Structure 1
Amino acid sequence: MRHAGQFGRLGTTPPVPGRPTTFLTLLATLVFTALTWQVASDGPLLAPDERLGNAIRTSAIPAAPAEFFADLGNLQVALPVLAAALAYVTWRTRHWLPALTAILTMALVPALVGPLQSALSRPGPPPMSPETGFYPSGHAATAAVGYGLCALLLHQVFRRREAAYGCVVLNAAVGLGLVRQGYHWPVDVIGSWCLSAMLLLSFPLLLRPVRGR
């Protein structure tokens, strides 16, 4: 019988990053590259993307809940939630490396999104025109990485998947809210989700549960 190892010791603790993680990272990278190329070259995908965005923006989806979920992508909301999760997991496990890795991962969001937005200069939906710099969505990336890190860290303690399921549902609501309120096009949100998946899956340290001392 192989016993699960703890942080800094020999052994493994499932789930161990392997082929599924590599496949998902590669898939996210390919989709993100394709979407970025479409935005950079004003490709044919943008026309149906804008039609879909306009349909969602003018749909019967209530504006108040859409605005609430869109606001969850603000740094002022996501960062305190992540900080609370970091503090709790560090206290429970007595390990600071996962928290440090999470902080570095979160710091990469503005470092990557900002230059991409400036370089691609995609125009926003009609309410935001003539402003540019909407791809990829900073709010969608902040929510996906911030709450995704919370789910991964909490999974290290509780070994349950409810946090991951809740994170997926929450980010879907954030993305829909951003499009419904006219803050972003659908491709902006999807591109951010792919970029976020690349960040989250590229740090195996976040995928290895740890045990407290």
Structure 2
Amino acid sequence: MRTERNLTRLDRVFARLDREPERPVLLDVPKMSRHRIALFAGTLAFYAAIVWAVLITSWLVRLDWQVMFFRPYQQWPEIHAFVDYYVVLGQRGPTAVMVAAWLGWRSWRQHTLRPLLALAVSLLLLNVTVGAAKLGMGRLGPHYATTIGSNEMWLGGDIFPSGHTANAVVTWGILAYLASTPRARRWLSALSAVVSLGVGLSTVYIGTHWLSDVLLGWAAGLLILLALPWFEPLIARSEAWILALRDRLRDRVPARAGRVAPVTRPVGAPVVLTPSATTGRGDDPVYEPASASRSRAAVAPVYLASAPLTAHAERTPVTPAGVRRPQHAERHPRGSAPTSTARHGAGG
């Protein structure tokens, strides 16, 4: 007879939320395959083509001006409030906090630091590459454009490529990169693509970026995700070093505590201090262990030593010191026979 109950979908969800007993033996770490290398090369060529098209003021720059004069925020003002909130999904601070919280839970569950280290490496690459491109090309945005039809390059701006778009591609795409199963990777890849596409178009709608800025931001973020397998050995070495450092610090804490307060007696045999009969300087009592006092009490002092008991009549009388009355000549100890002289003296 079968008595075990069938697991429901909610039970499976809670089982996945529990921490695994130990680190999984095999983690699905993406490798730099030929397919990924081909995608990286194609994305890099697309990146260079966008930059070249803007530099020579090609049809892409004319399209940028046409979209800017179209003013999407005036054409569809009813979605302006929603777009203002949606574009936050591309800001580095809020998105990094949300994704780091999720990946921190993943790290705790699987006993590994790889998710957090992968996020840190991707954000570092994003800041270096996108920041250098922004400052190097110095393009002005639509709100600060000076000459109609120009590419607005090297004028001190910092909007090319779009940082919001590149950040959305990296922070949401890292979830797909770290997915545990191929099915989850496909779904998360599609979700991150939709989110990053919406963030890029939101910046164009508001008027903070040119359309070419968004295209270059997509390419910049995708290049970082495609290049992450090259940094997996560095991530593995960093994780091993951090865990070894944690173990050394954990082993050092008990040793340091032992030097400060060394334990000389086994646990379970507490030392109880009792005041001794003697005192130290002044009137302060001297405390000693109870075991010492018990051992000293077990050995009786000399003046209390046990001796063979004698009868009361056999004890020799002792005259107390300091008694003024001399002992009577005719008195004799109790129980002793009188001498003959005393007997004759008594008769005469």
Task: Tell me the TM-score normalised to structure 2 length.
Answer: 0.51
Report the Cα distance in structure 2 between the residues aligned to 1:206 and 1:64, rounded to whole angstroms. 40
Equivalent position to 1:47, from 47, 58, 62:
62
Report the Cα distance in structure 1 between the residues aligned to 2:212 and 2:108, rounded to whole angstroms. 39
Over the matched positions of the two proteins, sequence identity in percent amounts to 26
Matches within 5 A, 1:37-186: 37-55=52-70, 57=72, 58-60=74-76, 62-125=79-142, 127-129=143-145, 132-153=157-178, 155-156=179-180, 159-160=183-184, 161-186=186-211
Report the Cα distance in structure 2 between the residues aligned to 1:56 and 1:33, rounded to whole angstroms. 28
Show structure 1 runs of 5+ residues with no match. Answer: 8-12, 208-213
Q: Residue by residue, what CA displacement relative to the aligned partner does 1:173-203 show, whole Å, maximum 9, x if unpaired?
A: 1111111001101110110110111110111
Query: Which is further off, 61-70 or 116-125?
Result: 61-70
Letter in 2 for 1:35: I
Show structure 2 runs of 5+ residues with no match. Answer: 1-24, 147-155, 233-348
Structure 1 or 2, whichever has the larger Rg, is 2
Letter in 2 for 1:156: S
Report the Cα distance in structure 1 between the residues aligned to 2:174 and 2:166, rounded to whole angstroms. 12
How far 1:16 sits from its partner (Å)? 5.1
- In structure 2, the partner of 1:22 is 37
Q: Residue by residue, what CA displacement relative to the aligned partner does 1:33-85 show, whole Å, maximum 9, x if unpaired?
A: 11112233433421113313443634326211222222221122111012112
- Contact 2:100–2:116, Cα closer than 8 Å, also in 1: no
Q: Residue by residue, what CA displacement relative to the aligned partner does 1:134-159 show, whole Å, maximum 9, x if unpaired?
A: 10011111111111112322x12685
- In structure 1, the partner of 2:26 is 6
Where is the helix percentage greater, Structure 1 or Structure 2? 1
Report the Cα distance in structure 2 between the residues aligned to 1:70 and 1:139, rounded to whole angstroms. 8
Q: Residue by residue, what CA displacement relative to the aligned partner does 1:2-22 show, whole Å, maximum 9, x if unpaired?
A: xxx724xxxxx5865422212
Report the Cα distance in structure 2 between the residues aligned to 1:103 and 1:45, rounded to whole angstroms. 34
Report the Cα distance in structure 2 between the residues aligned to 1:86 and 1:102, rounded to whole angstroms. 8
User: 3-state SS of the aligned residue for 1:95?
Assistant: coil
Letter in 1 for 2:100: A
Report the Cα distance in structure 2 between the residues aligned to 1:31 and 1:98, rounded to whole angstroms. 29
Report the Cα distance in structure 2 between the residues aligned to 1:15 and 1:44, rounded to whole angstroms. 38
Report the Cα distance in structure 2 between the residues aligned to 1:66 and 1:204, rounded to whole angstroms. 34
How far 1:26 sits from its partner (Å)? 1.1
The verdict on how the C-alpha distance between 1:175 and 1:112 changes in structure 2, with shifts beyond 3 A counting, is same
- In structure 1, the partner of 2:214 is 189
The verdict on how the C-alpha distance between 1:106 and 1:60 changes in structure 2, with shifts beyond 3 A counting, is same
Letter in 2 for 1:31: F
- Contact 2:165–2:197, Cα closer than 8 Å, also in 1: no
Task: Tell me the TM-score normalised to structure 1 length.
Answer: 0.80
With CA pairs under 8 Å and 6+ residues apart, which has the higher RCO, 1 or 2? 1
- CA RMSD in angstroms comes to 2.7
Q: How many residues align?
A: 197
User: 3-state SS of the aligned residue for 1:203?
Assistant: helix
User: 3-state SS of the aligned residue for 1:42?
Assistant: coil
Report the Cα distance in structure 2 between the residues aligned to 1:29 and 1:70, rounded to whole angstroms. 26
